[in-house]
Structure 1
Amino acid sequence: MTKLTLRGFVIHKGLLDLPAQHALVKAVRGVVRSAPLFRPDTPQGKQMSVRMTAAGKYGWYSDRAGYRYVSNHPNGASWPAIPSQILEIWDQVTGLDRQPECCLINYYVPDARMGMHQDKDEADFQWPVLSVSLGDDALFRIGNVTRGGKTESVWLQSGDVVVMGGEARLAYHGVDRLRAGSSRLLPKGGRVNLTLRVVE
């Protein structure tokens, strides 16, 4: 495991070994059974290319009314609890007593991407956002705290964990593309990204 810092993003390369990755995939499948993946619309009415769900007190949601956290899955059910294996990563990497209230789960098929965006729907930006990569490699682009300007990119592999805090907390970031078939972790390919957030 190595740790590198890029524009304030702390990237723990290879933090999770293969058994830990498989355990996380099993935990995520349990969440998806209770809260099935769905594909939200942007406020502009365009359907996102990723499918998502969540665990915790809140889930993240988007439609023509805007981006926001909600207490229930679109089917009306409460979100399942965040699995302990995921919370253990938060504890290990952040060392914080405060626990996240949302674990957003994004599933990328090989041609999915995530445009440059800020994570700014939370109440208090002093808390970091933690991101876990599972499955195929993703080209992660890091920008600035304002839109535009020069960016830098890094490939994230399965088992990598990224902490966005401090100067990086409101930096623009996104996923340009996947390297399809680069991992055998997920039987159908693609990538799962977990992001842990303190919402309140």
Structure 2
Amino acid sequence: MTTSPNDIPTLADLYNSNEISKANDDSKYNYDEALNKRISIWRGDITKLEADVIVNAANSSLLGGGGVDGAIHRAAGSNLLEECKTLGGAKTGETKLTKAYKLPSKFIAHTVGPIYSSSKKEECELNLKSCYSTSLELCKNNGGGSIGFSSISTGVYGYPIQDATEIAIETTRTILEKDETITRVIYVVFSQRDEDVYKSIIPKYFPPSSLSS
């Protein structure tokens, strides 16, 4: 069974239903109801999401792997691997687009997240920001619409979930402020822990009306 973005609550919905606490006084941005209607947090299976683009946390070969990467390749079928073989891999922070084949989405953005190292924190931040910005740019350049993100680099690549989520959400905010072609950004999380992290951080970047300045 697939899930449409229309079936997933927006951030505005989550605020209205009090599913996300409004008690956050360290917001870095102004309240914007229109932006809040373009953001979602969804605990579900990204291979079932009917988005225009889903973002795969790929390795540099782009030929599949474990976790979300393997699940996307299995669900999409062998034609995805054949197309990926033509792409010549990708560098850390780079994103390449393919068709989605048997998936309900239209495209897959394969992005290569950084392997986290505390001694290279600044470099890791720049590369992770690039993963999100290049994925959003590809969505914009291919008709816009909805995009679903897996939580890049937070699995076996070891990026601390709190830090990675801050980068993901702030990068999204800065891009959506300048672009109207992307109608929905869905953060697809696997665990309750990750969902709670996203919900605790997101008011800083997409505050509710009570925090309007």
Using structure 1 for the length normalisation, give the TM-score: 0.30
The structure having more radius of gyration, on CA atoms, is 2
Q: Which has the higher contact order (CA 8 A, sep 6+)?
A: 2
Q: Higher strand proportion, which one?
A: 1
Using structure 2 for the length normalisation, give the TM-score: 0.29
Q: Higher helix proportion, which one?
A: 2
